[in-house]
Chains A and B, each alone.
Chain A
């Protein structure tokens, strides 16, 4: 059972990492808690679902969900944050405005779904299982792990190895200095939101497929988990979010497997508490340092 639960944990952790990465890059570049991230994640799952209802296959449906969520995330930036950014009231105002936008998006989700739980078609991803060294692994788990690994690699490459990534890091470090160097912070923020939304959208589709549920309230519990993941990983740390995402998934699986479902959260949050006592800045961060999209 150990290896099987490890696989369960790694699969779930991969999606947590994807979701939390979108949350943390917005925080890392702009120092705002985008509490509408869960609603964008929900919207991605909905777009993917309705794409399947129109007969789209897996890849086009995923691309549509990612594109739709990216556009929605940009709208969130324009509606909820841009005005606050201009007025210099971003840090706390953003929390309230993003909650407002999240409620609006959630209400649309409720209206569209009629409050029902939606389910992706059962044959959307073939229900195939493989037996590898005594492990029971599904095609969906393989797709999840492979695609998340590829996406994480692309995002890391984008941030640390491209001109766009340099602009993002420059804006994260000092927006005024970046402006003097010819970088447009407004455009960079929009791009970061688009990346964040696309990641959330794909995470939404994966959660909808893996756990057979698409629901207008599905973003809330994942937002809380993402918040824990980014604090644990170190606020704004890309690598921290990824490592902490996997850690959360694996710890949850083992807590359920070897203790009880009712104790899983207690065990996990106790461990987070202990880690933060030892490393207040999280695994890959420092609470006192300037928050930025950094490697560690």
Chain B
């Protein structure tokens, strides 16, 4: 069916306008970061702020044309902490030529199991869990946070040399490998320094009732308590410990990052608890303050360490892609990430680098809670 001349002119004009509107400047490309993390299920409290963080980073980087004429995108998928879904999403990311880096993965055993597939797909993968084991299994693995032995050595030294602890009660989450690993490092470190372990207990991530546990610990009369659990749960345990009669001057060392949710869930009970600091939303560092301000404006909430991790993933991925210009490939991006040095991020107390084993290195400080604020510990 032929169109009348006057209509065909409209159609032609419309097509021309559509082509102009959808045109991309010559040489301008899109580079994608795929993020597969838990948006539903029991790990959603970690995955959701991570997504918020990376989206904010990508938005800011594009606004200031970090990649020049090129655009950075982020595609987000829910892995529901399901290993099959994780594999599917990794395959999907690898099949997309625009995707330069795959990010996400909170659960250590899942990360380890992906090594053979990753060696086959050859796509850089940023994971979040604490274990460094995957780094030795595939050169395509990259880790976001520093290894627990580095972080915990800082905290252990503080506990022994400054806090002068002698009798330690240990509580850790037994269904999270990173918490089991962190607790082992801290416990071994304390025993090596002659600290007596008066109680050694474990909980599950889904547990909320710690009344019996708290009564038991209070009866052992420790002078310090190690909490190898995540933020809000750690605060909840502290509250129940204090209700059970644990002395106010007992020094508490949670492995959880110094998050706002810890302060909200713990109230005044969490005063005088000590952390090593991956992220402190209350610091006056300009980059962190700017991140907190923008995150609040966009999401109406104070970012926690998972949001900071997501944001840093975005920054580091963009940095690696930029250093691989022109014509970045996954091999070039991988090489850039393996050589990453002194990149300003919101994690830690200084720039982010990787060492020769690709373990992240950044300065951490010991923080203490005082009246709903994190301060540098004395």
Q: A and B from one assembly?
A: yes
Query: Which residues does A use to contact B, with CB under 8 Å?
Result: 1, 4-5, 8-9, 11-12, 107, 110, 114-117, 119, 122, 127, 129, 136, 138, 207, 210-213, 215, 217-218, 220-221, 252-254, 256-257, 260-262
Q: Whole-angstrom distance between the alpha carbons of A254 and B212 in the complex? A: 8
Contact present for B239 and A114 (CB under 8 Å): no
Contacting residues, chain B, for A8 (C-beta < 8 A)? 211-212, 215
Q: List 6 A-B residue pairs with CB atoms under 8 Å apart, sorted by A's residue number.
A: A1-B215, A8-B211, A114-B48, A119-B267, A129-B243, A136-B244
Contacting residues, chain A, for B203 (C-beta < 8 A)? 261
Q: How far is the CB of A169 from chain B (nearest CB, A)?
A: 34
**B265 (CB) vs chain A CBs: closest residue:** A119
Contact present for B243 and A138 (CB under 8 Å): yes
Contact present for B45 and A115 (CB under 8 Å): yes
Query: Which residues does B use to contact A, with CB under 8 Å?
Result: 40-42, 44-45, 48-49, 174, 201-203, 206-213, 215-216, 219, 232-233, 235-236, 239-240, 243-245, 261, 264-265, 267-268, 301
**B216 (CB) vs chain A CBs: closest residue:** A257
Q: Whole-angstrom distance between the alpha carbons of A218 and B212 in the complex? A: 19
In the complex, besides A117-B261, A213-B232, 18 extra interface pairs with C-beta distance below 8 angstroms are A4-B215, A5-B215, A11-B211, A116-B261, A117-B45, A119-B232, A119-B265, A129-B243, A136-B244, A211-B208, A213-B233, A215-B45, A215-B208, A218-B208, A220-B206, A252-B212, A260-B201, A260-B202
Contacting residues, chain B, for A12 (C-beta < 8 A)? 209, 211-212
- A5, A11, A117: the one contacting B265 at CB < 8 Å is A117
Contact present for B212 and A115 (CB under 8 Å): no
Binding site secondary structure of chain B: helix
Q: Whole-angstrom distance between the alpha carbons of A12 and B45 in the complex? A: 26
Contact present for A256 and B212 (CB under 8 Å): yes
Contacting residues, chain A, for B41 (C-beta < 8 A)? 217
Contacting residues, chain B, for A218 (C-beta < 8 A)? 208
Q: Whole-angstrom distance between the alpha carbons of A261 and B202 in the complex? A: 6
- B45, B212, B245, B265: the one contacting A136 at CB < 8 Å is B245
Q: Whole-angstrom distance between the alpha carbons of A215 and B232 in the complex? A: 10
Contact present for A261 and B201 (CB under 8 Å): yes
**A212 in contact with B265 given A1-B215, A1-B219 (CB within 8 Å):** yes
Q: Whole-angstrom distance between the alpha carbons of A14 and B301 in the complex? A: 36
Q: How far is the CB of A234 from chain B (nearest CB, A)?
A: 25
Q: How far is the CB of A37 from chain B (nearest CB, A)?
A: 17
